Amino acid sequence: MQGKSQCSVRIRYSCCCCGASFLRLRDLVVPGQVCRVNQSRLVQGGSLLLTLTIPICLFCPHAYGRPHTTQLYQHVPETRWPIVYSPRYNITFMGLEKLHPFDAGKWGKVISFLKEEKLLSDGMLVEAREASEEDLLVVHTRRYLNELKWSFAVATITEIPPVIFLPNFLVQRKVLKPLRIQTGGTIMAGKLAVERGWAINVGGGFHHCSSDRGGGFCAYADITLAIKGNGHERDFMGDQRVYIMDVYNRHIYPGDRFAKQAIRRKVELEWGTEDDEYLDKVERNLKRALQEHPPDVMVYNAGTDILEGDRLGGLSISPQGIVKRDELVFRVARRCQVPILMVTSGGYQKRTARIIADSILNLYDLGLIGPESASISAQNSDTPMLL
């Protein structure tokens, strides 16, 4: 007696509006939209692949009530890794960037280190595109964007006083444009994370910026823009779809008491906290957060201002501790089959670029990222996003 043949069914969802394709449906479809079968075909191994189309997905600018054409959701060939970068990320102008402790050229250094280690080449990277004004208006107020046309406002946000004396067209070109490109990179990486299961924007992570205010070298709210600091906390105040877990030095951050109310899981640290205590608290609280609200996508703000010797962070985490932190966050996300978007955020020492590169190399060596890293499988969950 012959056994019955079996045929597995795989489903891919495609957005008619922006062309994005997903393996997951929950929280990617605007409520009330109907999925329709577009095509079905047999693929290798006898599996049946169904492509279902949806009129509009939540990654479309149209989903937020501001219809506009965007260049940020272009098709990315499978030959390119979901690592987003552009040489235009780096800020250099007459040495002014050296007046701030933040290394405004660290993003290019990260890529150089990865190339030296033979992990990446230019053809494997996704080129970031600049977020347009219409892209930014999805979250930002027009009043705030107009304020950025004044050099005084940009000098205050970047904490570089001499910027006050520069013509604004130079400020736009040399300071704000690189930040807009990084913001576009985060938005692009968010889409890639959902499609591929993971993504890294080598820049971004402007967590001090919200819809109507900037600060701390953060002029655009890229985290808020990617999924719809104290910045994104203000933007998601009262939004139960977004779950924020924050690990920070309680004596210095966040000073914004109003924004602090939006943090669902506060992990407060003392001055000089070291590796063992830090990693234990990160791991235990991350697992508890995922149990409380299993997310559909995780945005990981992987700042390096926790590094020992960082005068702004005030903690004492070793380079190895930072690499281990990134590893455990990716392990938990991949084990739970949660797409993860990593942005590199703050860090105020010259050696942070080497540490970020070492961390990415470690993630690859462990099989947590890379071309062979399995895509996230479809799962049914009515859950929020985790920051």
Q: Which residues are catalytic?
A: 208
Question: Could you tell me which of 198, 200, 187, 243 has the C-alpha nearest to residue 342?
Answer: 200
φ, ψ of residue 231 to 5 degrees: the values are: -70, -60
SS3 11: strand
Q: How many residues are present in the chain? A: 387
Please report which helix (H) or strand (E) contains residue 200, including its range: strand 198-201
Please report which helix (H) or strand (E) contains residue 38, including its range: strand 36-42
Q: How many angstroms separate the CA atoms of 236 and 231, rounded?
A: 9
Supply the DSSP string of 155-182, one letter for each residue. Answer: HHHHT-GGGGGS-HHHHIIIIIHHHHHH
Q: Which phi-psi region, left, alpha or beta, contains residue 216 (left: φ > 0; alpha: ψ -120 to 50)?
A: left
Supply the DSSP string of 346-372, one letter for each residue. Answer: ---STTHHHHHHHHHHHHHHTTSSSTT
SS3 151: helix
**Pairing relationship of beta strands 48-54 and 36-42 according to DSSP bridges:** antiparallel
Q: How many CB atoms lie within 10 A of CB 358?
A: 19
The residues that bridge with 57 in the sheet, in sequence order, are: 29
**Pairing relationship of beta strands 245-249 and 385-386 according to DSSP bridges:** unpaired
Distances (CA, A) of 273 to 20, 269, 368: 43, 7, 27
CB 351 within 8 A of CB 319: yes
Identity of the amino acid at 150: W
